[in-house]
Structure 1
Amino acid sequence: MLLLGFGQDWIECSPTPYGEIHFPTTQVHVLPAGVSDHPPLFVTVTDVHPPRKRFSYLNCWEAHEEYGIRVREAWDTPVRGNAMYSLFSKLKQVRQKLTVLHKHSYSRISEKVREAQQHLHDCHSCLQGNPLDPDLIVKERDLLHAYLVLKKAEHSSLLQRAKVQSIKFNDAPTSYYFSRIASRKHQGIIGKLKDRQGMDRDGVSAVNQAFVEYYQWLLGKHSPVDTSLIDILEGPRFPASGCEEICKDIDDKEIKIALFSIAPNKSPGQDGFSAQFFKTNWDIIKK
């Protein structure tokens, strides 16, 4: 833990027990101590807007009784436009419906697991005093089922988000797994870099502009291709007899083989849908 003092104000720069970082854009540089026994600290505080939460498909949603209905409703929504526009529009509809499903049933899943466990514990306490009560027996069975469903959903969500294969079903959601999730969220954030001239670029806009300028310098501008060099190139060439084979239309079987070869938790695009979503709902979305 690192505490920075400014008069009566203190800033905590260490992660919380659950991996949250209070000041992710604050940078601290330790300067030489000189003649003092306390090195001065140079603190840079960048005021940025928190990034919008990115949609990520969770496999535990598939166990919900309304999952298939919501996906079918979204996919059957008529859309005008070409095939690509229709695909992304329907994926957007699915994302909205699954987000609502997550908020109603899976948000704060760890708290719901603890509440279900407490209800089950209270029911067991009542059963010890009256073990033959039929109402308590039925209630205990229902509470146990609800607890196991929530526990399984929590385990699946934690395993998928943390990318840690060592999580067991009975493991408690310790701070280690939450810290892994928090560190993964910040892996794709570049808050500062040096451009080609060695100047520091701070902030999202400045970093984006630095990337654009670099690749404009690297790739250059559009220029016509000199086709006179093509005839003098030597080496193996693709036979003319095979051109028809590689130019033929792609059939449905090839598409399915390519898609189902992707690992379930890998995302083929930037929309947050993993390959698991397409595999589970292939009968609905394949057309």
Structure 2
Amino acid sequence: MVIGDFNNVLYSEENLGGLMVRNSDIKDFGDCVQELNLVEMAYSGNKFTWMSPSVRCKLDRVMINTAWLRGNFGAKTEFIAPESISDHSLGVVSFANTIVKQPKPFKFFNMWTLSDNFLEVVKKYWVFPGGGTKQFMLKEKLGRLKAPLKKLNNVEFGHISSRARIARDNLCAIQNHILNGGIMEDGYSNTRKKAEKLLEAESLFLAQKLRGDYIRQGDRCTKFFYDIIRRNQARNSITCIRNCDGVVVEDPNLIANVFVQHFSNLLEIPGHRMNNDMVALECGQKVAIDSHSDLVAPVTMEEVKEAFFDIDIEKAPGPDGFGSLFFKKCWD
């Protein structure tokens, strides 16, 4: 861990006021940080750490390397006001117990759609035999899909980067053999399709993993790429939070309860409502009395069909009108 005043900003947006930061001003610092594989530790408190009458900058940092991220140390940084001690914010690093990794929530990966068995798996487990509200049935259907999709991922897409690399190497070896005068074997087409499929799946996986932000810089599967993943995971983790009473909570389980309690209290508090301003309502155009019944009348399926497709239901193709099965499902 490297901590202190680096006397330079790392990004242009970390300077507010004064002269504009040029790329040449931050290039050496950025190259040094990248060469040493340093990333900034997750922090809370002040955004800028140094100030003058007209300029505010982030000059103080707590930076860690890849070994620190792999060590899973429970540490956090807080930048607080310097008071009368200095013009630099105080960077306080606190150490806690080793971070306990919680079970990861289920996440859908776009690469699964490349599988030939994907639609079959979804159709098989999407049928829900029970009843209930639409929300409950949707929740149960999604729950039934978790285990089959995880199994599909392990069988066809587990260790996708390694699989893609092996498939690419095999394809290159066969192509070199053919281009050097060898005979094209019958399995070449299948080998190429398999390699293309795995490479596309890997690309989808990496793009979704990092939301496409670091794909070009990370050169896909380099060490830099995985360091970025670890940095984002460490940065996005919430190690402590203040509850409504101002008490700092550090227990991961209690942190989740603080969020739930905050929004529960927020949604349960009745809002301040104003009475209708009848004077304002009387101004302007009004709906005619004879149109009142049309506004409150129930909407029929035939009206929906005509409104969306502007066709004659009686003359529409099909045994009982255009897309009758589709409309029935949507209407239900």
TM-score (norm 2): 0.54
Q: Map Cα deviations across residues 94-126 of structure 1 (whole Å, 9 max, x no partner).
A: 222211111111121111111112222333454
SS of residue matched to 1:27: strand
Shift of residue 68 of structure 1? 1.0
* C-alpha RMSD of matched pairs (Å): 4.7
Deviation at 1:74, TM superposition (A): 1.0
Contact 1:15 1:22 in 2 (8 A): no
| Identical residues among aligned pairs (%) | 16
Paired with 2:74 and 2:300, the residues of 1 have a C-alpha distance of: 48
Asked whether the 8 Å contact 1:59–1:156 carries over to 2, the reply is: yes
* Letter of the structure 2 residue corresponding to residue 120 of structure 1: L
Counterpart code for 2:140: S
- Go from structure 1 to structure 2 and tell me whether the alpha carbon gap of 1:186 and 1:248 turns closer, same or farther (over 3 Å shift): farther
| 2:162 corresponds to 1:108 | no
Q: 2:222 aligns with which of 171, 174, 189?
A: 174
1:141 is matched with: 189
SS in 1 for 2:95: strand
Residue 155 of structure 1: CA displacement? 0.7
Query: Which of these two proteins has the greater Rg computed from alpha carbons?
Result: 2
1:82 corresponds to: 133
> In structure 2, what is the equivalent of residue 202 of structure 1?
250
Distance across 1 between alignment mates of 2:103 and 2:175: 43
Q: Is the 8 A contact 1:113 1:150 kept in 2?
A: yes
Structure 1-normalised TM-score?
A: 0.61
Pair 1:208–1:125, CA change in 2 (3 A): closer
**In the alignment, does 2:72 pair up with 1:23?**
yes
The alignment partner of 1:119 has SS state of: helix
Relative CO higher for 1 or 2, CA cutoff 8 Å, sep ≥ 6?
A: 1
Aligned partners of 1:123 and 1:139 also within 8 Å:
no
Query: Offset of 1:67 from its aligned partner?
Result: 0.8
Find 2:169's aligned residue among 100, 118, 126: 118
Does 1:69 find its partner at 2:120?
yes
Out of 148, 162, 168, the residue aligned to residue 97 of structure 1 is: 148
Pairing 1:178-193 to 2, within 5 Å after superposition: 178-182=226-230, 185=233, 189-193=237-241
Any gaps of 5 or more consecutive residues in structure 2? 4-62, 83-91, 309-325
How far has the Cα of 1:62 moved from its partner? 1.4
Query: What SS does structure 1 have at the residue aligned with 2:66?
Result: coil
Matched position secondary structure for 2:187 = helix
Asked if 1:156 corresponds to 2:204, the answer is yes
CA distance in 2, matches of 1:180, 1:248: 55
Relative distance call for 1:245 and 1:24 in structure 2 (3 A) is farther
In 2: Cα distance, 1:56 partner to 1:216 partner: 25
- Measured in 2, the distance between the counterparts of 1:218 and 1:92 equals 29
**Change over 3 Å in CA distance of 1:113–1:2 after alignment to 2:** farther
Distance 2:280 2:235 in 1: 43
| Alpha-carbon contact 1:193-1:200 (below 8 Å) kept | yes
Q: Cα offset for 1:167?
A: 4.2
**Pair 1:122–1:180, CA change in 2 (3 A):** same
Going from structure 1 to structure 2, the CA distance change for 1:164 and 1:42 (only over 3 Å counts) comes to closer
In structure 2, relative to structure 1, the CA distance for the partners of 1:22 and 1:64 (3 Å cut) is: same
Change (3 A) 1:54 1:185: farther
8 Å contact from structure 2 (residues 72, 99) kept in 1: no
Look up the match of 1:6.
Answer: none
Change (3 A) 1:157 1:221: closer
Shift of 1:220: 7.0
